[in-house]
Amino acid sequence: MTEFVLKYGCNPNQQPARIFMRNSGELPIEVLNGRPGYINFLDAFNSWQLVKELKEATGLPAAASFKHVSPAGAALGLPLSDTLKRIYFVDDLELSPLACAYARARGADRMSSYGDWAALSDVCDKETAMVLAREVSDGVIAPGYTDEALEILKKKRKGNYNIVKIDPDYTPELMEYKDVFGITFEQRRNDVRIDDSLFENIVTENKELSEEAKRDLMVALITLKYTQSNSVCYAKDGQAIGVGAGQQSRIHCTRLAGNKADLWFLRQHPKVLALPFREDIGRPDRDNTIDCYISDEYEDVLADGAWQKFFTEKPEPLTSREKREWLDKQTGVSLGSDAFFPFGDNIERARKSGVSYIAQPGGSIRDDHVIETCNKYGIVMAFNGIRLFHH
């Protein structure tokens, strides 16, 4: 296939639209089902690069959940605890390593992942297809699909689920191009390799960086490589738990990602796990209601009997004190930034979400203040010297 004609571009008025190889070669993909659109393919190709690099860097199966050309979540195929199985709604399924990877990626920020594009580093198996089958998703890209998985996925969205197979051996050309306002930009593609050698320049007093922390920092940095900048990523236990994308200010990235990481951890609070949902409430409504329950507006939103739409009885609120006490238990979180931190306020915010390890380029005129703030809290920070802007 030399080209694939799209229904339209980013918006319905942007016609005609297609994807094709600039040098008249064959596209490295095969559309097995559905008709992916312009934004679908942007998500597909960015997410595929992310999971391919995660697999190469760690040797583990990887998955990503993309929305509007940024990851809502990315993860490795590590086993899930019983609590994570519950908050990811997969406690009734058999899970392969690849299925665990997608459940983690989808579970990082379930509200943002609603209607996502999924990417899988390995051939999609039956177990992963079963996880995908129950979620609201636009499509998936993988290097292949078992017959059982393909049969399951082809039934999604009334038979119109987008399924894309990509050649895992495809390597793009070194130079890439982009047209903006009729003007062509050319640059070398970002082929920087991210591995644990990037964490050798530890600039803080605390230099104890565990292998698990190095793994999580790699997850964060590879995720950032394909996240719209400015961006910051919190990671723990082999998965992103909070991604702050496309913010003009670094502190806003840190706050946004930190707030998402807090929600991820608060979803594991005993009060949240014990919420008395009505049996007829589906996963999307449960996700929205849980976020509402965790928020400060809970009493206002579910006042005057509105709670009866979701619960068999009105739950006791999760107080601000209870939330803070629970979040204070969170430690061992890794944080990556796609550019340097200009002020120590980013460290102050990160600490509130349990960050113990940081990787960032360094190079700010206030590096000494940022390092000093890390030292105040015993945080380990490495300067990797690599900026990861993505636009």
- The tally of domains found in the chain comes to 3
- Give one word for 8, left, alpha or beta, with left for phi > 0 and alpha for psi -120 to 50: beta
At 308 the pLDDT is 87
Q: Does some domain include residue 391?
A: no
Percent of the chain with pLDDT over 90: 90
**Which residues share a beta bridge with 358?**
335, 381
Kindly report the average pLDDT of the chain as a whole number. Answer: 95
The span from the CA of 47 to the CA of 70, in Å, is 8
**Sign of torsion, CA 234 88 284 330?**
negative
- The answer to whether residues 168 and 143 touch, using CB atoms and an 8 Å cutoff, is yes
Residues 142 and 180 in one domain: no
How far, in Å, CA of 311 to CA of 132, rounded? 26
Report pLDDT digits (tens) over 99-140: 999 999 999 999 999 999 999 999 999 999 999 999 999 999
Residue that terminates a domain, selected from 141, 166, 191: 166
Strand partners of residue 281? none
Spatial separation of the C-alpha atoms in residues 14 and 192, rounded to whole Å: 34
How do residues 14-43 score in pLDDT, each as one tens digit? 999 999 998 878 999 999 999 999 999 999
Tell me, yes or no, whether 106 and 27 share the same domain: yes
Predicted TM-score (pTM) of the model is 0.95
CA distance 386 to 268: 34
Residue after which a domain boundary falls, among 142, 166, 190: 166
Measured CA to CA, the distance from residue 382 to residue 372 in angstroms comes to 13
- Domain extent for 228: 175-266+327-383
Residues 6+ apart with CB under 8 A from 76: 54, 58, 60, 61, 62, 101, 104, 215, 219, 238, 239
Predicted pLDDT of residue 24: 74
Nearest to 101 by CA among 63, 130, 140: 63
> Which residues, including other chains, have CB under 8 Å from residue 383's CB and lie 6 or more apart?
201, 203, 360, 361, 362, 363, 367
pLDDT of residue 87: 96
Amino acid at site 208: E
Strands (E), 131-274: 137-142, 162-166, 175-180, 183-188, 231-236, 239-245
Tell me whether residue 91 is in a domain: yes
Residue type, 77: G
Tokens for 99, please give them. Answer: 């299925």
For residue 373, give both structure tokens.
């703030």
List residues with catalytic annotation: 67-68, 230, 391
* Section 378-383 average pLDDT: 98
Residue 292 lies in a domain: yes
Q: Is residue 336 part of a domain?
A: yes
| Residue 296 confidence (pLDDT) | 74
Q: What is the pLDDT of residues 215-266, one digit of tens each?
A: 999 999 999 999 999 999 999 999 999 999 999 999 999 999 999 999 999 9
Question: What's residue 292's pLDDT?
Answer: 87
In angstroms, rounded to a whole number, what is the distance separating the alpha carbons of residues 353 and 355?
6
Query: Could you tell me the pLDDT band of residue 2, with boundaries at 50, 70 and 90?
Result: confident
42 is written with which tokens? Answer: 């942007």
305 or 251: which carries more pLDDT confidence?
251
- Same-domain check for residues 260 and 275: no
The domain boundary residue, chosen from 112, 147, 166: 166
Q: Are 30 and 136 found together in one domain? A: yes
122 and 230 part of one domain: no
DSSP state of 93: S
Cβ atoms of residues 132 and 153 within 8 Å = yes
Residue keyed to tokens 């571009």: 9
- Give tens-digit pLDDT for 147-185: 999 999 999 999 999 999 999 999 999 999 999 999 999
Give the percent of the chain with pLDDT over 70. 99
Instruction: Please check whether residues 82 and 204 belong to one and the same domain.
Output: no
| Res 302 pLDDT > 80 | no
If pLDDT is split at 50, 70 and 90, which confidence band does 301 have? low
Instruction: Please tell me the predicted confidence (pLDDT) of residue 307.
Output: 82
77 occurs within a structural domain? yes
As given in the structure block, the two tokens for residue 185 are 């930009």
Q: 347 and 251 in one domain?
A: yes
Report the CATH number at residue 206: 3.40.140.20
Residues 151 and 229 in one domain: no
pLDDT at 3 over 80: yes
Say if 322 falls within a structural domain.
no
Percent helix, strand, coil in the chain, to 5, is: 35, 20, 40
> In the predicted model, what is the mean pLDDT of residues 62-76?
97
Residues 362, 244 share a domain = yes
